[in-house]
Amino acid sequence: MSSNRDGMTKEYAADEIVVEWEPRLCFHSQNCVRALPQVFDDSRRPWVQVDAATADDVEAAVARCPSGALRTRRIGAQAPKRQQWSELRASENGPLLITGGVRILDAEGNTLYEGERAALCRCGGSSNKPFCDGTHKKNGFRG
């Protein structure tokens, strides 16, 4: 895993909602950018401007994040209950996408990540294993 990104989470807040971004989980699908470019612009710093759209619109865009790198929480709201089931799906020419209650452990049993979504490398080229880092886009992986 890339040591400079391990465990780092950034937060971007507005009055109603907070967007959390965990870079080590991100494989740059660009779903957030396509959904809400006024909020998510990877050429700008900071790249997330939560107050550029409604909290509902931000929440809907973040829900399109397949890796779980982006999450939202409403200010003053209780955390939603986790789903009781998980789903594992191979994306076309990309990572394994897991949704539902996800806990990923290393070989020693240490928790690497817990959340509602994750994207796992299936091309073998990620420098952030077991997580996908988008290398499949460059190494010609098909599957």
Q: Where are the domains of the chain?
A: 10-74, 86-137
- Residue 130 has a pLDDT of 96
Residue 67 CA to residue 11 CA, distance in Å, equals 17
Could you tell me the pLDDT band of residue 142, with boundaries at 50, 70 and 90? very high
Number of H helices, E strands in the chain: 2, 6
Question: What class is the 86-137 domain?
Answer: alpha beta
- Residue 2 has a pLDDT of 37
For 83-141, what is each residue's pLDDT tens digit?
578 899 999 999 999 998 889 999 888 999 999 899 999 999 999 999 999 999 999 99
- Residue 80 has a pLDDT of 64
- Residue 40 has a pLDDT of 98
- Residue 6 has a pLDDT of 55
Which residues, 6+ apart, have CB-to-CB distance to 33 below 8 Å?
Answer: 40, 41, 42
| Percent above pLDDT 70 for the chain | 92
For 52-85, what is each residue's pLDDT tens digit?
999 999 999 999 999 999 999 999 887 666 557 8
State the CATH architecture for 10-74: 2-Layer Sandwich (3.30)
For 17-52, what is each residue's pLDDT tens digit?
999 999 999 999 999 999 999 999 999 999 999 999
